Amino acid sequence: MIMAEYLIPYISPWLAYLLVGLVQCGLLLTVVLLVAAVCNWLERKVSARIQDRLGPTRTGGRFGWLQSPADGIKLLTKEDLVPAAADRRLFLIAPYVSFAISLAVYLAIPWAGGNAFSADPQKAHDWTCVRLDAAVFFIMAVSGLEVFGVILGGYASGSKWSLYGAMREAAQVISYEIPLGLCVVIPVLIAGTMDLVQMGNQQSGWFWNWYLLHDPFTFATFWIYITCAVAHTNRAPFDLPEAESELVAGFLTEYSGFRWTIFFMAEYGAMFAISALAAILFLGGWNGPIPVAQILGLTWEHGAIAGYAGDVLGFCNLFAKASAGVIFMMWLRWTLPRLRIDQVMTTCLKYCLPLASIMLAGVLAWNFTLPGRMFFGISPGSPPRMEKQAETMDESSSEGVAVSLSRDPQERIANWQFQIANCKLND
Amino acid sequence: MDTLPLLLGTAWLLPLASFALILLFGSRMGKAGRGAGFVATAAIVAAFVLSATALTVWLSAHPIEAPAGHSSATADSAEHGAAAKENHAADTHASAGETTAAKKIIPPVAGDWYELGAFGTKRITIGYYIDALTIAMFFMVTMVASCIHIYSFGYMHEELSEVTDHQVTLASGQHLHRRGRFHRFYQYLSLFCFSMLGLVIAGNIAMVFVFWELVGICSYFLIGFYIERKSASNAANKAFIVNRVGDFGMIIGLMAVWTGMGTFSFGDYEMKDAQGRETMRPGIFSQARPAGNDFQLQAPDGMVKFAKRDEIAEIVQKSENAADAELQIEKRIDGWRKDGFGYGWLIVAGLGIFCGCVGKSAQFPLHVWLPDAMEGPTPVSALIHAATMVAAGVYLVGRFYPVFTPEVLMVIAYIGCITLFIAATMALVATDIKRVLAFSTVSQLGYMMLALGFGGWLAGIFHLFTHAFFKALLFLCSGSVIHATHTNEMPRMGGLLKKMPYTGITMLIGCLAIAGAGIPWIIGLSGYYSKDFIIAQGLVYQHANPLHGWLFYFSVAGAGMTSFYMFRLWYMTFLGTPRDKHVYDHAHESTPSMLVPLVILAVMSVISGWKVPFTNLELPALLTQAIPSGTEEGAVSNLTKFYIPAEHLSHESGVHFFATGIAFLMALLGFVLATAFYGTKRLDPNDARRTFATLYRIFIHKWYFDEAYQKIFVRPALAISGWIAWLDKNGLDWIADNSARLMGLCARLDDWFDRKFVDRLIDLVAAGTYRLGIRLKALQTGSLRQYVMLLAVGLAALFMIMNFYWNFAMSKM
Amino acid sequence: MELLTQPIGLSHYLVVSALLFVCGVACMATKRNLLGVLMGIELVLSGANLNFVAFGSPYLQSKSLGMDGQMIALFVIVLAAAEAAVALAIALNYYHTHATVDVDKADELKG
Amino acid sequence: MATDHYPHMPPINWPSVFFLFFAITACAFAVAVVVTGNIVRMACYLVVSLSAVAGLFFLAGAEFLGAAQLLVYVGGTMVLLVFGVMLTAQGPFVSMRTGGGQWVMALLIVCALAVILISVSTIVPAWNKPLPANEKPVASTASESARLGMGLLGLRTERLESPPDPAAGGMSGYLLMFEIISVHLLVVLIGAAYLARARRRKDEG
């Protein structure tokens, strides 16, 4: 939107805003499509490596890197079939629903932190489409919606296999949303905010500031999160909705050509998004294991150019982490056998859910007994979070009313009162 | 400005000349009087040209200024600009009530042509009163009339030769053969045009009354054009007699005006006084709203004096000479006026005049004649019983508006509201194509009355104009259909669009216009604008008077029903499968002389609400020039504590926005229902008819008005004469005979009473309780959806009660 | 056009919420499918929620309900979820006993 | 800024544009829910309508609520959808069509209700006008969802900022209500599970 204001002197305002909006949409779309294309190629390569094969080697040189475009062209030229028994309107629209929702998740994901402790959110320069107050919550809500397209597609196909697949998908995704939500709540609890930008910035510094290494419970939570995330995105070993050996191809049975591709892009988009979320929540987001940017002075304190350079670095970091997450999921897919549906539900309700609850309680207890300790409670060096927060509060910048967890009730009340006074100062 | 009276006067007299010519030489004009048509058409077209010239003259003398700040969206957004600021300032200045300097009053062109007689200080003249409203009416009337004259060439061509009337069977069992009456038809049309234009141009209320009666007699002639048909002659009689009832009230109003104001003239006029000097004397409007009183309504001196005539007589007796008495009366008259004397006479005058309008405009309870008037030829229905004559009532209310007190306006609003609602309900079920249109006309006239009663002078008059165009169009289209199919019954039509594409499409345009179709908040057909004005005014009125908010809701419901029955008509006529093979095969598109007027009127009903590009010229703005001074700011009733809101409130963007939304929503609902029932046949009309069996019965019997009048007025008259005859024959004998028989009866009655009554009383109580239980049992139907509906009804009722009475209580605080 | 250039007022929200509410009522009143009725209820509740949020929004009115508006809406959402759970359980039970979810068939206790 | 260059054309107010978009979407799909007969399509339209309402929440500054609406309502509707597929018989003898008369009756009642509600919602003149520019709230940096959270925990931070208004009640938040709702949810969970349990034992016995 800032860009639009530069354009306004030259063209009429509404056109400027429209243009900039379209450009931004296009950028986002490109990212997702590229991710999907690369993932498709990667999947072939990874699976080949695991199965001791070479994978695609012919199309476009030695690594077969033109395989995805070639596949895309093949799929685009296929006939777009609609079964006679299908509910035509829903059948046609379902892939787009799925894809649009998977795209919408990207609205709230920050790609780099920008000016970490800026007083004014307008000047934070974080790399987010829409910086939301409740970004974590938003992403959870929207990523849960993705199943909607699948159910529609499964129902509308008018085929038993598709319907079975869709029903399985619904049951699975709605069930796994609960432990996944519990896992997400844990970093939120530690950070005291649901704003992803703030959460990422609180993990800046060395790798022991990552929430993954905050305490033993968060470490365990991360693995539960990964399990649930895999199930949530319907990847093997939880790919029951499209189990080839049982349901032909599940909800995808009746789809072909372009619409099938769209479904696939939605799946890869969701995988990438949920990996990026994991990276931000547990793996420090755009902060590398070693704070190279800070050491080189590439921060916003040293001017805008340095800040942007640091942000580019951070973006690469986050992208690498998210990609690692995707590759990890592929690795899982090609090594583990598929579960039975009852096993899937058992994993969710009998293992993941209780474990996540225990982790929640554990993190609570840990924070009450050992508040502010990093790196398994050992705390090498002072935690930057507290320091910075105190600073900003002195500047009366008001980083919001963060709920801080403290052992002593007296201290907690004092903390509140401090923050309240802070609020008053602002007004 | 002597050109205007000259132009309009000529335009007015041309049809009279045509009438006279046809009267004398009609049957000898061409073959079977064909030339009569040309004479009449030439006269009315010339009148139209003169009217258009007059309009140009008027506009060049009083150009329309840029719209004021709040009246349109463009000005609203331009408020940032410096130019708009001045405009805005001027506007606020004007609305502050400083009518003397800032606001431009456009004086009407008034004067007399001829003095019929003078009686002391009072006199009766033939005069004119020309303002923007007169000019616009002239333009509209001559235009519609021209179209209809041309149309009639095609429609009435059968009258050029020998006619066999299949609807009249003679005693010999044969159908009636008679000579064609082509020239006579045009002769009546010319007479009508002359009378209508005279009614519009009239400079005093007496002249209005004369032409009022003349248009009435023209209507009588033309309804009874097929005089040999029993139904036609009955309808003509009915129209005539029902109108007399209204005219009776009007005469009372005239007497009140004459007594109270001493003049019939609308505008101020010059007159020699006793010393022979020329002095200006105030007309009706100046007396009711003197400039000295800031154009606010007050009882005229004459009425105050009349109300206090006893006391004045006393003063005159006591004082020594006349001048002294005069002085004393002058001194006390303001005090009396403040005490409310004379105000009652103002109400009487207003109600009386309105009575006449009720009759002519077919308002409740005198609306019964208009549907029957459809016996006349269709061009007549279009011209007289839709576009012009019946609108004359609305015109008169608009013309007499300055004299109406808020109480009279409330009566007008209520009458209008009742009319619009019951007429719309009748239109929902009628199957005769012309009757649907007739009910629609009554309903739309009710709309206009309602708008005027709401204080929306502009809204009501604007609707009068747009309605004239699209209703004339609709009638002519229906005439085209009837001409092609030789039947009025819609159930025998269907699928005619393929056979008559021009008629079908122009009629669709008419339906869209009357339903108020448009793209909300952006653009629409003419009806869209005028209906929005009315709904917006209603919204403001409802906010000002929660107690009378019912009126608004009924008007909104009326908008929905309008859309429903119009599209029902169109779908039944033009879409679907042909229901009567014979009729369908026989149907054909009409001749060009009938189609050209259709196209002209269709264009007018699309564009008449629009602004002429690159100018400020638009119909509402032109009419705004004629808004009576002093009425813009609304009024407060002193008697019953309610408010007539100022009209400019309704032009505020917020109100207008929601009014448009509501109007559009209702029109859409009507359209969707009509489509569901008659277009796509998703719903079955018979199903709905069964569900609302009672309502259907009431609607199809036209709310039993004819039956009721038959029972209340006609039968008793016959019955009383019967009784007297009967009494004469058997009266006294019967008494003697029966007193003896009565005694025996009494004894038996006593016995019967003892057994049947006393005993059964106790039985009845028990049985009643039992039956009540059975009845109440049915309330628990177990139908979930019915409960939901009842819940919704309860909620709506609760909101209504809160809306009206709680707000009412708040306003009292 | 003025709708596009001027900020939105409270009334606009109220009108939208009224329309949603009314659609919900229509849905409840016309659907014979029990689940359709439930959907109508959801619509009604979301219409009511929109009302609360609009009255609580500081962007529409200088003297708004404040946080109360959002809070009540939040509770309504939660309770709606609870209501849906119970209603679905009832629907399931009803289906077990009647082999249909037509509410018009559920009139065995009628008078 | 924009007005300087284009005095003849006022700048487009984007929140209004989005409001219009969401409002029209919400209403149009709500109407579609009413009109359509297929239960799955109904659910589909309902999801779109509710999502648009969530968009309206975002526009009104209630981000947390918008997300909650998406998560809870839309998720709940998804379950409805599944049930719709399961319980709606597609058999040829089962017709759940509503008669024309009932449609008309419902539409009449509902439209009366609509007109009344709309006219009531426009009855206060202050509501029709947008907030004057000088009364626009200062963009608060304090997180809105954190405020909600504090409110649920029993502290109303926004009352701290403004002088206490005795008419508006004290500082206490919604802790009690929060607890009651938690317990209520638990009860509902158990109740629903009990109601919907499969009665296998009876069949076997």
State pLDDT tens for residues B371-412. 888 888 999 988 888 888 888 999 999 999 988 988 899 999
- Quick: pLDDT tens for B50-86: 999 999 998 888 887 755 544 443 333 333 443 434 4
Q: How far is CA D83 from CA A151, B507, C36, C39, in A?
A: 12, 49, 11, 12
B777 and chain C in contact, CB less than 8 A: yes
Measure CA of the first residue to CA of the last residue in chain B; give whole Å: 53
Among residues B589, B598, B574, the alpha carbon closest in space to that of B506 is found at: B598
**Contacting residues for D90 by C-beta, under 8 A, at least 6 apart:** none
Which candidate from B521, B661, B783 shows the least CB-CB separation from C107? B783
B129 in Cβ contact with B266 (< 8 Å): yes
Residues D134-160 have a mean pLDDT of 70
The pLDDT value recorded for residue B461 is 92
Is A386's pLDDT higher than 50?
no
Q: Name the residue with tokens 């009660």.
A: B801
- Maximum mean pLDDT: which of C15-24, C91-100, D110-119: C15-24
Residue of D nearest to B691 (CA): D101
Residues D16-45 have a mean pLDDT of 88
Q: Can you tell me the distance from the alpha carbon of D142 to that of D164, in angstroms, rounded to the nearest whole number?
A: 19
> What's this model's pTM, rounded to 2 decimal places?
0.70
Q: Do A17 and D145 touch (CB under 8 A)?
A: no
* Sign of the dihedral through C-alpha A39, A42, A44, A47: negative
Residue positions counted in chain B: 813
- Quick: pLDDT tens for B620-670: 888 888 888 877 777 887 777 778 888 877 777 778 888 888 888 889 989
The three-state secondary structure class of B118 is: strand
CB pairs under 8 A between B and C: 57
Q: For D84-117, b where at least 16 C-beta lie within 10 A, e where not — what string?
A: bbebbeeeeeeebebebbbbbbbbbbbbbbbbbb
**Please, which pLDDT band fits residue B11 given cuts at 50, 70 and 90?**
very high
The pLDDT value recorded for residue D137 is 65
C4 and chain B in contact, CB less than 8 A: no
C105 and chain D in contact, CB less than 8 A: no
How far does the CA of residue D131 sit from the closest CA of chain A (Å)? 21
pLDDT higher at A302 or A385: A302
ipTM of the assembly?
A: 0.70
Which two structure tokens, joined as six digits, stand for B558?
A: 């009326």
Which two structure tokens, joined as six digits, stand for B424?
A: 């719309």
Q: Can you tell me the distance from the alpha carbon of A317 to that of A325, in angstroms, rounded to the nearest whole number?
A: 12
How far does the CA of residue B658 sit from the closest CA of chain C (Å)? 9
B519 and chain D in contact, CB less than 8 A: no
The pLDDT value recorded for residue B199 is 92
Percent of chain B predicted with pLDDT > 90: 28
Q: How does the average pLDDT of chain B come out, rounded?
A: 84
D23 and chain C in contact, CB less than 8 A: yes
Which candidate from A13, A170, A194 shows the least CB-CB separation from D12? A13
Helix B182-201 × helix B34-61 angle, to 10°: 20
Residues A375-394 have a mean pLDDT of 46
Q: Do A427 and D161 touch (CB under 8 A)?
A: yes
C30 and chain B in contact, CB less than 8 A: yes
Q: Do A17 and D1 touch (CB under 8 A)?
A: no
The secondary element (H helix, E strand) that includes residue B129 is: strand B122-130
pLDDT higher at A360 or A244: A360
Domains assigned to chain C: 9-98 (1.10.287.3510)
**Please, which pLDDT band fits residue A387 given cuts at 50, 70 and 90?**
very low
Q: Do D16 and C6 touch (CB under 8 A)?
A: yes
Q: Do D128 and B655 touch (CB under 8 A)?
A: yes
Q: Do A14 and D64 touch (CB under 8 A)?
A: no
Q: How does the average pLDDT of chain D come out, rounded?
A: 76
Q: For B694-719, b where at least 16 C-beta lie within 10 A, e where not — what string?
A: eebebbeebbebeeebeeeeeeeeee
Burial class (CB in 10 A: 0-12, 13-18, 19+), B98: exposed
**How many angstroms separate the most distant Cα atoms in chain A?**
70
C residues 42-71 closer than 8 Å to D (CB): 42-43, 46, 49-50, 53-54, 56-62, 66-67, 70-71
The pLDDT value recorded for residue B462 is 92
Among residues B401, B410, B466, D63, the alpha carbon closest in space to that of A134 is found at: D63
Q: Using a CB-CB distance cutoff of 8 angstroms, which residues of chain B are in contact with residue D118?
A: 658, 661-662, 665
The pLDDT value recorded for residue B566 is 92
The pLDDT value recorded for residue A349 is 85
The three-state secondary structure class of D197 is: coil
Considering just the CA atoms, what is the radius of gyration of chain A in Å?
A: 23
- Quick: pLDDT tens for B542-592: 888 877 888 888 889 999 999 999 999 999 888 888 888 888 888 888 888
- Quick: pLDDT tens for B125-159: 899 999 899 999 999 999 999 999 999 988 888 88
**Please, which pLDDT band fits residue B474 given cuts at 50, 70 and 90?**
very high
CA angle (A401, A405, A408) in 5-degree steps: 120
Provide the pairing of β-strand B518-519 with B278-281: unpaired
